[in-house]
Amino acid sequence: MKLTSPQFEHNARIPSKYTCEGENINPPLTISDVPESAKSLALIVDDPDVPKQFRSDGMWDHWVRFNIPPTVTTIVEGEEPAGTPGKGSAGNLNYHGPCPPDREHRYFFKLYALDTELALPEGASKKDVEAAMQSHILGEAVLIGLYEKGNK
């Protein structure tokens, strides 16, 4: 399974358009090679480099979306994909772009193909989604983007 973006390469800089310094909209994403037996997809975007004073668990959740139809091959720039929105660290139900407070951070765009739809409500946390996915993951892909504020 693959997750790519026409706007940035793996381990490269995320354009500021997709951050708090720009339009704060989601970048376009392309999904390919989803297992045929997949019943749904889940997308989680998080930042493991957030300082501990902002999150005791050292993780900031920017985007949580689950029960995305497995037939989705493109997530359009600035548009939420079909599926159920989960809740991010800022209380957001939609994409919340990078906005690192201190230095360059890594942003992990993680896509999972699942053999089921998740029986979770809108606003479920990343922790709830990850727990519900256990033993249902058929495939996964990761796209890492980098961003540092003021480094345009």
Q: What is the DSSP string of 24-85?
A: --PPPEEEE---TT--EEEEEEEETT--TTT-TTS-EEEEEEEEE-TT--EE-TT-PPSSEE
Domain for residue 81, yes or no?
A: yes
Domain for residue 31, yes or no?
A: yes
Domain for residue 138, yes or no?
A: yes
Q: What is the CATH number of the domain that holds 88?
A: 3.90.280.10
pTM of the model: 0.95
The residues pairing with 99 across neighbouring beta strands, listed in sequence order, are: none
- Short-list 120, 119, 63, 111, CA closest to 87: 63
Cβ distance 15 to 5 under 8 Å?
A: no
Domain for residue 105, yes or no?
A: yes
Identity of the residue numbered 11? N
What is the DSSP track for 107-145?
EEEEEEEESS-----TT-BHHHHHHHHTT-EEEEEEEEE
Determine the pLDDT at residue 56: 64
* pLDDT tens sequence for the chain (152 residues): 999 999 999 999 999 999 999 999 999 999 999 999 999 999 999 999 988 777 767 789 999 999 999 999 999 999 999 999 999 999 999 999 999 989 999 999 999 999 999 999 999 999 999 999 999 999 999 999 999 998 65
Domain for residue 139, yes or no?
A: yes
Determine the pLDDT at residue 151: 63
Domain for residue 152, yes or no?
A: no
Quote the CA–CA distance of 113 and 140 in Å, as a whole number. Answer: 6
Q: How many domains would you assign to the chain?
A: 1
Domain for residue 65, yes or no?
A: yes
**Could you tell me the residue range of the domain that residue 91 belongs to?**
2-147
The pair of structure tokens assigned to 125 is: 């946390």
Cβ distance 120 to 65 under 8 Å?
A: no
